[in-house]
Every structure is written in C-alpha cells, then in structure tokens.
Amino acid sequence: MATVTVTLSENYKKREGRSSISTASLTLSFEGKVCEPDVKNVVRETLGEINSFSAMGQMPVLSVALQRTQHLFTFDLILWMIIRKTTNWLSFGEYSKFIDEHFCPDEQNADPTMGAAGEPGTPRNLTRSKLRLPFPGVDAYRKLKALTDTFMLARTGVLVDFDRLLRKLDPSEEGARIGQPLPSDSDFLIKVWNRYLENVNGSSDGALPYLAIIRNKLPDVPLINPQDFPPGDITACFGIIQKKLSQPTFLELIWSYWHEEGMQIQAMNYISQRFQNVRGPGDRDPLATLEIDALRPLNNLLWGYIQDEQHRLSVVRRANEYEHEYGFTLHGKAVTGLRTVDRRSKFLESFHNLLHKCVQFFRQDDDTTVVSDGFPVLNAIKETHYLLAQGAHNQFGDMPSTARQEMLMQQWLLSRPEMREFLGGRVMVPYPEPWMDRVDAMKSLLGWTDVSVVHFHDLAVFGEQVLLSLRYGGWSATNDPNQAANWARYWRAEIQGYVHAYRAVTGVDLSADITDQKALAERYVAPSVHLRNRLALQQRQ
C-alpha cells in the first residue's frame, strides 16, 4: 500500500464559531485491482479551500528564505590577517613610496626619533647602513641597496612592532572577509593574537603553534634575546632568538619564481648588456636605440647595478632552491643539466589538488541548501603543509629575503621614467604597477611570451600569501574542519585569483572537474613546461 496525503491546515481558524481543518487524501492500492481516484477532483477541492481562505483574508503570505550556517570563530584567523597585512606592506607600491621619500631626504626636516622607515621602533642607524661596495662611482646605487635592506628589516621579521601592526588592522574589513562582524575595540585583535600564541618550555614568551612544535624538538637549544647580553658576549651567538618563534619572516620564494618566469630578471639582464654595449642575439639588436644619457640619475644607478653583479644571486642558485622547495623547474641555457638534491616532486600535485578542493568547497559554501564540508580541504592542507616543511632547510632562511631585495630594486629601476622613454610601451593599458609595461615592452621587442606580466605578478602575490598561511599554520596539530573552512573563506579571493592567473599563464584550468586521467595529469606538470610549449606554439603561428 502506498499513500500520498495532501494536507492543508490552519490552526485555530475560526469559521462560524468553530475550528476547521481541511484535509484531502489520495490513496493508491497496488494489491489486486488498481484503484485510480479522481485526482483532478481532489486537487480542485484542495485549491478551492485555499482560494476560500485567501478570499476571507485569513491566510497570511509567508516569506521563505534560506540562511547560511553559522561560521565558528577560530583563533588562527588572526595569523591570516597578519600575513595579509605584512605581505601588503612589502608590496612594490609601499617600497616605491619608501624609496622616493628617503632616497633624497631633507635632513633638516627629518625627525631624529623616527627610523628610516618613518616608523617608531626602527633604529635610526639603519639609515647609515654599513653596506659598502668596493667600486668608485656607485654611491647612488649603494644608497638604494641600503634603503632596500632597511625597508625589508622594518616591514617583516623580529624588528616589527606587532602591537602596532595589529592596531592597523581594520576590523570591519577583516570581518567582511571571514563572514562575521568583529569588535571595533583596538585591543581585541591583540588579545586574540596573545591567545593564539603558545608557551614553550615554560617560557612566558609565545610562539606560533607550528614553531612551538619545532621548538619542543630542540629542548637542548636555549632561547635568547640578544638585547639582554652585553656587547661582545659570545653567548648571544648561540641559541634561538625568541622573537623568531612568533615573528618569522613572512616571505615565500614562490614570489620570486613567478616574477622570474614573467621575464623580469631576463629583461634587466638584456638592458644591462645593452648598457655595456654588448650586442644582443640575432642580426639586428632590438635594443640598438637604447641610449641612456649620463645627465640623468638612471645612468649612474645602472652603473652601480652592473658593478654589483658578482654580489647578487645567480640563476643557478635560485633554480636549485625553486626545485628544492616547490619542485618548480626553470628552462634555459643557464640551467641546463641542473642536478638538485631532494626536490619536492609531489608538491605541485598536492598544491593544485588543494586549490581544486577549495573551488569545490566554495561551490558548496555558496549553496544555502548544503552544509559545506571542510574535511576535504583540511586533509589537502595538511598534505601540502608537510611538503612545505620538508623544504624549509639550508638556504630557506635567507634566500627568499635576498631574492626579494634584488627583485624589488630591479622593479624600481624599471619603473624609472627614463625606461619608458627608451623602451616605449602601451600607455593606455592600466598596469597596476609602473614597472610592468617596461617588462611587457621588452617581451614584445625580443619575441618572448605574449602573456602579460600582470598575470605572473598575480601568481606571485596570491601564491605567496596562500603558501605562507599553509607553512606557518598549526595544521599538524588540528583536526577541526572549521579551521580549514575559515581558512578557505578568508583566502577565497586570493585562491580564485591564483586559479584564474594560472589558467591565463599556462592554459590549465585548476577549477574544472576532470575525470580523464590524461587530462588530469596536465595539472601536475611543472609550469615551466606549459610555458615552453605555449611559447613554441606562439612562435609557430
């Protein structure tokens, strides 16, 4: 027996002094003879009841809406806020403003209590950096290099005033990113930060949960604060600096990798060769008309830049580190026959799988009829977290910051107005940063990839922020899907921006649901392979 019942009821409905309930019942019998009731009459009678109630004005119209499930607040959200703030502080816009303000400062109007970054707490003597180059005529470049080093010290690492940084966070903006309002109290985020840090070995000073685990593996190594030791005390040369456990240098080498793939470094190398009057490849030199006069500052800056070449990172050192940390390869004559020890061959597969899981999570999260599941994202995060940690050794401590300094200086040199005069470019294209049109102009002159450097820059910025949150989050010690869900929601704009930029650069769509194993394997091929194949296709057309 199968029964379908259509019931229309109105509680406490008064009709002629009595309550009434209207019920229509439809029964289908499958035993023996099949009974076919008059369905039309049943529906007609039911609709008549509805119309009569509506005509009497006794049936109100109810609005029905679906609401999202409540997002639980997790304390690791404060780390994502700090990472985003710190990486934005290190952007080219901030760097350019810093250099423009201090490259030729007005000493008479300078505030002696302020540091080189114009921020309290930054030592004044940083402006008098001891960086010296053993060449004549390089004072302008030496000053640029010293200011760049000061900029990096003042914006990330142990010298940053974290209380001041936290007070600069906008609660309304951060609340919008996590989907729930935050108190406007300026001390609220400081309390959350202190609550998030963990004590290690009974010390009152906190550490990030991930670094607290690492610290507990080294109980025999003391924690030190160099300021507590008198000058010349060799004890300060041993141990772990306490602030490194709570204020690591929030930099990722993937930022440098994507800018290198975007041909920024190659563009500067060609300009440097032309400045030295070295002929380029081919019968005609595309930069034959590049003549930088000696009257303008760029001439002397380029002279110092070329003189300092022996002190910069080589492409081989960077390429080895790219492979060691991420399994990313570079293609070119300078890195032919590269033999890297302990490369992360599974990182790309893990990272791209995580990005795809995030896209699936966003689809669920946008559907108000579904409660989105954070466990698949959490498991993918853990896998990538462990792979990143395996590559955090040897050059990891200094390579990202050194490469960042060199590339920021290159961007600043490329952004000089003299470069636009000599290289030209598309004035009407709204590049977000002034150095970008110079790189794209060089790519057009030399027949390199026609993919704009804007997309490579997006991969660098978004990739760095996402990987920093994966590296320094305490993922190995949690099994809470709410943390992974909040992580994905907070970084949604950056994750989707990375997925789009990766498709624009390589032609591989990380958001598509693919079942064909051959097509799926293309996601796990090194980006440089896709770039080389697309360039070959471009040159054949």
C-alpha 24/C-alpha 494 separation (Å) is 55
C-alpha 470/C-alpha 42 separation (Å) is 61
Residue 136: per-residue pLDDT: 62
Q: Give the predicted TM-score (pTM) of the model.
A: 0.83
Residue 198 phi/psi, 5-degree rounding, is: -115, 145
Residue 40: per-residue pLDDT: 63
Is 443 among the domain residues? yes
Tokens for 344, please give them. 């992360």
Is 328 among the domain residues? yes
Range of the domain at 6: 2-55
Q: DSSP assignment of 492-529, as one string?
A: HHHHHHHHHHHHHHHS--TTS----HHHHHGGGS-HHH
Residue 150: per-residue pLDDT: 94
Tokens for 141, please give them. 């470049």
Residue 25: per-residue pLDDT: 43
Is 289 among the domain residues? no
- From first to last of its 541 residues, the chain has per-residue pLDDT tens of 444 444 444 443 444 444 444 444 444 444 444 445 565 676 667 666 666 655 555 556 667 777 777 778 899 999 999 999 999 999 999 999 999 998 866 544 444 434 444 454 444 444 444 445 555 678 899 999 999 999 999 998 888 888 889 999 999 999 999 888 899 887 899 999 999 999 887 666 789 999 999 999 988 888 887 677 666 666 667 788 888 999 999 999 999 999 999 999 999 999 999 999 998 777 788 888 889 898 889 999 999 999 999 999 999 999 999 999 999 999 988 888 888 888 999 999 999 999 999 999 999 999 888 888 999 999 999 999 999 999 999 999 999 999 999 999 999 999 999 999 888 888 899 999 999 999 999 999 999 999 999 999 999 999 999 999 999 999 999 999 999 999 999 999 999 999 999 999 999 999 999 888 888 899 999 999 999 999 999 988 7
Is 81 among the domain residues? no
Q: Tokens 């060769």 map to which residue?
A: 273
Is 488 among the domain residues? yes
**Strand bridging mode 223-224 / 240-241:** parallel
Kindly provide the b/e burial profile for residues 340-361, where b requires at least 16 CB atoms within 10 angstroms of the residue's own CB. eeebbeebbbbbbbbbbbbbeb
Q: Indicate the length of the chain as a whole number.
A: 541
Of 153, 136, 192, the C-alpha closest to 402 is 153
Q: Pick from 55, 78, 94: which residue ends a domain?
A: 55
Instruction: Compute the CA torsion angle 464, 466, 469, 471 (nearest 10 deg).
Output: -70
Residue 334: per-residue pLDDT: 87
Tokens for 251, please give them. 């930099």
Domain count, the chain: 2
Residue 33: per-residue pLDDT: 47
C-alpha 79/C-alpha 487 separation (Å) is 10
Is 426 among the domain residues? yes
Count of alpha carbons within 13 angstroms of residue 329, beta-carbon side: 20
Of 150, 171, 153, 125, the C-alpha closest to 243 is 153
Q: DSSP assignment of 221-240, as one string?
A: SPEE-GGGS-TT-GGGGSSE
Q: Which amino acid makes up residue 167?
A: R
* Cβ 443 vs Cβ 538: under 8 Å: no
* Cβ 287 vs Cβ 270: under 8 Å: yes
Work out whether the CA dihedral 209, 84, 153, 316 comes out positive or negative.
positive
Is 480 among the domain residues? yes
Residue 509: per-residue pLDDT: 95
C-alpha 152/C-alpha 173 separation (Å) is 26
Work out whether the CA dihedral 412, 416, 420, 421 comes out positive or negative.
negative
C-alpha 355/C-alpha 363 separation (Å) is 13
| CA-based end-to-end distance of the chain | 70
C-alpha 405/C-alpha 90 separation (Å) is 10
Q: DSSP assignment of 352-407, as one string?
A: HHHHHHHHHHHHHHH-TTS----HHHHHHHHHHHHHHHHT-SGGGGTHHHHHHHHH
Residue 53: per-residue pLDDT: 54
* Cβ 387 vs Cβ 344: under 8 Å: yes
Residue 222: per-residue pLDDT: 84
Q: What is the SS3 assignment for 7?
A: strand
Q: Hey, how many other C-beta atoms are within 10 angstroms of the C-beta on 196?
A: 19
Q: Hey, how many other C-beta atoms are within 10 angstroms of the C-beta on 125?
A: 10
Work out whether the CA dihedral 420, 425, 426, 430 comes out positive or negative.
negative
Q: DSSP assignment of 142-209, as one string?
A: HHHHHHHHHHHHHHSSTTS-HHHHHHTS-HHHHHHHHTS-----TTHHHHHHHHHSEE-TT-SSEE-H
Q: Is 136 exposed, middle or buried (0-12, 13-18, 19+ CB in 10 A)?
A: exposed
Q: Pick from 16, 32, 55: which residue ends a domain?
A: 55
Is 137 among the domain residues? no
Report DSSP state, residue 113: T
